A and B are shown apart, each in its own frame.
Chain A
Amino acid sequence: MLGICQIVPGPNIVNLAVCVGSRFAGVAGAFAAVLGLTLGPVALVILLGVLYEHYSYMPIVQGLLRGISAVGVGLIASTGFKMMRTELKYPPMLAVIILTVLAASYFHLGLGWVVLLTSPLAFLLAWKRVKG
């Protein structure tokens, strides 16, 4: 279940909350789980946003956030690389990854176009992998 929630589109944690919540109490459970997981962090992050408005002029705050964002990008990249382990077991699938990266980063296609363009190849290769 966890796996499915990580690959379907949308915020992972919200998807997971919908899955788990709906197991326990259907639609109401899904709502409760999603609200329970998001309300606290949303309130906190708004508070941080207010603090940011007041203190973002300070060089220390700017430096702090520059450092954190550089690390944050690295963490996202490593999530991607770690997810790639499944793909490495079937190297042809790397073509989908390369095509996606090229379409998005080099040709700057919109997100919807990238998905439309690459999903036929992804499904074809996935089908071949499962068949073979």
Chain B
Amino acid sequence: MISTLLSLFLKLSAFSVVAFGGINAILPALYDLSVNQEHWINSQTFGDYFAIAQAAPGPNLMTVTLIGWNVGGVLGAAVATLAIAWPSSIMIYFLQRTILNMQDKKKQLIIQYAAGALAVGLVLAAAWGIAVQINHSLAAHLLTIGTIAVTFFTRWHPLYLIIIGGVLGVLGFI
């Protein structure tokens, strides 16, 4: 148990420092770790935890919390949440002043543009990777594409889309 928690802690800590674009960017890596490598949960449970985290109020790192909870109960949830947050928190704590106080505004822009491009690439790759893993029907893929379209052409709150998705799922369409 201790060794499982330790492995959970170390691997998630490593993810934290490369998660350009936030938790969404590391979802495929999280899937790979928890489903394929460590077999903590199966593909179905991963998709369900992802759904719960999306629907629940609060930060999207809750997928990580739920996986930790599955591995080691409340302690596991705490370890996983802490692990995904501490390295990046320390980094931003020291970096924020450095970046904001940079006399050379050009340097600041370079960092911003470079990190921004990495973030976009990782988030898009993540969306693709996760769609392939958790959408099991044509209808599910269409719902994903429809969601993208709606967010482009309307200003609907995401919660409405989540409710629509849930209702379609309950009715057996997805």
Contacts and interface: CB of A to CB of B under 8 A. Distances in A.
Interface in A58-109: 59-60, 62-84, 86-87, 90, 93, 96-101, 103-105
B23 to A, nearest CB: 5
A122 B74 CA distance: 40
Contacts of B112: 3-4, 7, 126
Contacts of B78: 42
A104 B88 contact: no
B163 to A, nearest CB: 9
Contacts of A81: 124, 148, 152
A81 B168 CA distance: 25
Contacts of A65: 47-48, 51-52, 169
A104 B126 CA distance: 8
A79 B50 contact: no
A131 B109 CA distance: 10
B144 to A, nearest CB: 4
Interface in B121-174: 121-131, 134-136, 140-141, 143-148, 151-152, 158, 161-162, 164-174
Interface residues of A, number: 85
Contact of B88 (A10, A38, A93): A10
Given A69-B48, A72-B51, A41 B62 contact: yes
B165 A70 contact: yes
Interface in B31-56: 47-56
B120 A83 contact: yes
Question: Which of A18, A56, A59, A74 is most buried by chain B, counting CB atoms within 10 A of its CB?
Answer: A74
B134 A74 contact: no
18 contacts: A3-B112, A6-B119, A14-B88, A18-B89, A38-B61, A42-B81, A45-B52, A49-B66, A67-B165, A67-B173, A68-B169, A72-B165, A77-B128, A83-B116, A104-B129, A105-B128, A111-B19, A114-B125
Interface of A: 1, 3-15, 18-19, 22, 27, 30, 34, 37-38, 40-42, 44-46, 48-49, 52, 56, 59-60, 62-84, 86-87, 90, 93, 96-101, 103-105, 110-112, 114-115, 118-119, 122-123, 125-127, 129-131
- Nearest 8 A/B pairs, CB to CB: A10-B88, A67-B169, A100-B121, A41-B58, A74-B147, A71-B165, A72-B54, A77-B127
